[in-house]
Amino acid sequence: MLFIGLGNPGAEYHETRHNAGFMVIDTMANKLSLKFKKPFFKNYLIARGYYQDKEIVLIKPMTFMNRSGFVFNHIPNKYFSLDNSLVVICDNMDLAAGECRIKNKGSNSGHNGIKSIIEGFGSKEFVRVYVGIARPLSGEAVISHVLGKPEDFELANFKKGIERASNAAVSLLTINVARVMNEYNRRNA
Protein backbone atom coordinates (compact mmCIF):
# COMPACT_ATOMS: atom_id res chain seq x y z
CA MET A 1 0.00 0.00 0.00
CA LEU A 2 1.30 3.43 -0.95
CA PHE A 3 0.79 6.31 1.50
CA ILE A 4 1.56 9.90 0.50
CA GLY A 5 1.58 12.57 3.20
CA LEU A 6 1.14 16.16 2.06
CA GLY A 7 2.98 19.14 3.44
CA ASN A 8 5.56 21.79 2.62
CA PRO A 9 9.32 21.15 2.79
CA GLY A 10 11.55 23.37 4.93
CA ALA A 11 12.12 24.04 8.60
CA GLU A 12 9.81 27.07 8.62
CA TYR A 13 6.84 24.79 7.84
CA HIS A 14 7.84 21.91 10.09
CA GLU A 15 5.06 22.07 12.71
CA THR A 16 2.43 24.02 10.80
CA ARG A 17 -1.16 22.88 10.41
CA HIS A 18 -0.65 22.43 6.65
CA ASN A 19 2.04 19.81 7.36
CA ALA A 20 -0.37 17.47 9.11
CA GLY A 21 0.13 14.91 6.31
CA PHE A 22 3.90 14.88 6.87
CA MET A 23 3.36 14.52 10.62
CA VAL A 24 1.04 11.53 10.18
CA ILE A 25 3.51 9.86 7.80
CA ASP A 26 6.34 10.50 10.29
CA THR A 27 4.25 8.99 13.09
CA MET A 28 3.49 5.94 10.96
CA ALA A 29 7.19 5.50 10.13
CA ASN A 30 7.98 5.67 13.85
CA LYS A 31 5.34 3.07 14.73
CA LEU A 32 6.50 0.73 11.97
CA SER A 33 10.24 1.34 12.57
CA LEU A 34 10.77 2.65 9.04
CA LYS A 35 13.46 5.17 8.07
CA PHE A 36 13.15 7.78 5.36
CA LYS A 37 15.75 8.25 2.67
CA LYS A 38 15.96 10.54 -0.33
CA PRO A 39 16.59 8.78 -3.64
CA PHE A 40 19.24 10.45 -5.82
CA PHE A 41 17.89 13.19 -8.03
CA LYS A 42 14.32 12.63 -6.81
CA ASN A 43 12.06 15.15 -5.15
CA TYR A 44 10.61 13.01 -2.37
CA LEU A 45 11.49 11.09 0.78
CA ILE A 46 10.59 7.41 0.95
CA ALA A 47 10.37 4.78 3.68
CA ARG A 48 9.61 1.15 2.82
CA GLY A 49 8.91 -1.98 4.81
CA TYR A 50 6.35 -4.57 5.77
CA TYR A 51 3.51 -4.72 8.26
CA GLN A 52 1.83 -8.09 8.87
CA ASP A 53 3.20 -9.37 5.54
CA LYS A 54 1.88 -6.35 3.61
CA GLU A 55 4.32 -4.09 1.82
CA ILE A 56 4.06 -0.46 2.84
CA VAL A 57 5.59 2.56 1.13
CA LEU A 58 5.49 5.99 2.80
CA ILE A 59 6.25 9.06 0.68
CA LYS A 60 6.66 12.73 1.50
CA PRO A 61 6.84 14.89 -1.65
CA MET A 62 9.52 17.55 -1.29
CA THR A 63 7.58 20.02 -3.39
CA PHE A 64 5.25 22.65 -2.06
CA MET A 65 1.70 21.55 -1.30
CA ASN A 66 0.20 22.88 -4.54
CA ARG A 67 2.67 20.79 -6.57
CA SER A 68 2.34 17.52 -4.61
CA GLY A 69 1.04 15.61 -7.63
CA PHE A 70 4.36 16.09 -9.45
CA VAL A 71 5.67 13.23 -7.30
CA PHE A 72 3.93 10.79 -9.65
CA ASN A 73 6.42 11.74 -12.37
CA HIS A 74 9.20 10.30 -10.21
CA ILE A 75 7.78 7.40 -8.19
CA PRO A 76 8.63 4.02 -9.77
CA ASN A 77 5.60 2.19 -11.22
CA LYS A 78 6.28 -0.83 -9.01
CA TYR A 79 4.85 1.08 -6.03
CA PHE A 80 1.48 1.33 -7.75
CA SER A 81 1.16 -2.43 -7.94
CA LEU A 82 0.88 -2.67 -4.14
CA ASP A 83 -2.70 -3.94 -4.14
CA ASN A 84 -3.43 -0.95 -6.36
CA SER A 85 -3.98 1.09 -3.18
CA LEU A 86 -3.14 4.76 -2.76
CA VAL A 87 -3.82 6.64 0.47
CA VAL A 88 -3.24 10.41 0.63
CA ILE A 89 -3.04 12.13 4.01
CA CYS A 90 -3.53 15.87 4.50
CA ASP A 91 -5.08 18.62 6.63
CA ASN A 92 -8.74 19.64 6.52
CA MET A 93 -10.23 22.89 7.80
CA ASP A 94 -13.76 21.46 7.98
CA LEU A 95 -12.76 19.17 10.85
CA ALA A 96 -11.96 20.30 14.38
CA ALA A 97 -8.43 19.80 15.66
CA GLY A 98 -8.26 16.29 17.08
CA GLU A 99 -10.58 14.75 14.51
CA CYS A 100 -9.78 12.72 11.45
CA ARG A 101 -11.94 11.51 8.60
CA ILE A 102 -11.40 8.83 6.00
CA LYS A 103 -12.99 9.11 2.54
CA ASN A 104 -12.87 6.41 -0.10
CA LYS A 105 -12.82 8.85 -3.06
CA GLY A 106 -14.17 12.23 -4.06
CA SER A 107 -13.35 15.70 -5.30
CA ASN A 108 -10.49 17.92 -4.15
CA SER A 109 -12.88 19.72 -1.74
CA GLY A 110 -10.99 22.98 -2.35
CA HIS A 111 -7.66 21.51 -1.14
CA ASN A 112 -4.92 22.44 -3.60
CA GLY A 113 -2.69 19.54 -2.52
CA ILE A 114 -5.47 17.04 -3.26
CA LYS A 115 -6.18 18.85 -6.54
CA SER A 116 -2.54 18.38 -7.56
CA ILE A 117 -2.62 14.70 -6.52
CA ILE A 118 -5.75 14.11 -8.63
CA GLU A 119 -4.04 15.75 -11.63
CA GLY A 120 -0.77 13.84 -11.13
CA PHE A 121 -2.39 10.48 -10.37
CA GLY A 122 -4.96 10.90 -13.13
CA SER A 123 -7.88 9.75 -10.98
CA LYS A 124 -10.04 10.69 -7.99
CA GLU A 125 -10.15 7.02 -7.00
CA PHE A 126 -7.95 6.93 -3.91
CA VAL A 127 -8.46 6.93 -0.16
CA ARG A 128 -7.99 10.17 1.75
CA VAL A 129 -7.17 10.49 5.44
CA TYR A 130 -7.98 14.00 6.59
CA VAL A 131 -6.59 15.56 9.77
CA GLY A 132 -8.66 18.31 11.37
CA ILE A 133 -7.12 21.76 11.71
CA ALA A 134 -10.39 23.76 12.12
CA ARG A 135 -11.26 26.99 10.36
CA PRO A 136 -9.38 30.21 11.04
CA LEU A 137 -10.67 32.52 13.72
CA SER A 138 -12.75 35.49 12.63
CA GLY A 139 -10.50 37.99 10.87
CA GLU A 140 -7.62 35.54 10.38
CA ALA A 141 -6.58 34.84 6.79
CA VAL A 142 -6.75 31.21 5.64
CA ILE A 143 -3.11 31.23 4.51
CA SER A 144 -1.97 32.52 7.91
CA HIS A 145 -4.03 29.85 9.60
CA VAL A 146 -2.82 26.85 7.60
CA LEU A 147 0.81 28.01 7.70
CA GLY A 148 0.56 28.81 11.41
CA LYS A 149 1.50 26.51 14.28
CA PRO A 150 -1.17 25.39 16.73
CA GLU A 151 -0.63 26.41 20.34
CA ASP A 152 -1.91 25.59 23.81
CA PHE A 153 -5.20 23.64 23.91
CA GLU A 154 -5.38 23.44 20.12
CA LEU A 155 -1.87 21.94 19.99
CA ALA A 156 -2.88 19.12 22.34
CA ASN A 157 -5.94 18.35 20.19
CA PHE A 158 -3.93 18.66 16.96
CA LYS A 159 -1.44 16.07 18.25
CA LYS A 160 -4.34 13.76 19.15
CA GLY A 161 -5.63 14.15 15.60
CA ILE A 162 -2.20 13.26 14.17
CA GLU A 163 -2.09 10.14 16.35
CA ARG A 164 -5.68 9.19 15.50
CA ALA A 165 -5.04 9.64 11.75
CA SER A 166 -1.86 7.57 11.91
CA ASN A 167 -3.74 4.77 13.69
CA ALA A 168 -6.45 4.93 11.02
CA ALA A 169 -3.88 4.82 8.23
CA VAL A 170 -2.08 1.81 9.74
CA SER A 171 -5.48 0.10 10.16
CA LEU A 172 -6.03 0.40 6.41
CA LEU A 173 -3.22 -2.13 5.94
CA THR A 174 -5.26 -4.94 7.48
CA ILE A 175 -8.89 -3.76 7.64
CA ASN A 176 -11.12 -2.79 4.71
CA VAL A 177 -11.73 0.91 4.19
CA ALA A 178 -15.45 0.76 5.07
CA ARG A 179 -14.71 -0.63 8.55
CA VAL A 180 -11.92 1.90 9.13
CA MET A 181 -14.26 4.70 8.07
CA ASN A 182 -16.93 3.40 10.44
CA GLU A 183 -14.51 3.41 13.36
CA TYR A 184 -12.58 6.63 12.75
CA ASN A 185 -15.16 8.93 11.16
CA ARG A 186 -17.09 9.23 14.42
CA ARG A 187 -16.56 12.41 16.37
CA ASN A 188 -14.13 12.07 19.24
CA ALA A 189 -15.70 11.58 22.63
The residue from 18, 74, 111, 145 that is catalytic is 18
For this structure, is 18 an active site residue?
A: yes
Residues forming beta bridges with residue 92, ordered by sequence position: 132
End-to-end C-alpha distance for the chain, whole angstroms: 30
24 in Cβ contact with 18 (< 8 Å): no
Residues forming beta bridges with residue 130, ordered by sequence position: 90, 101
What amino acid positions are annotated as catalytic residues?
Answer: 18
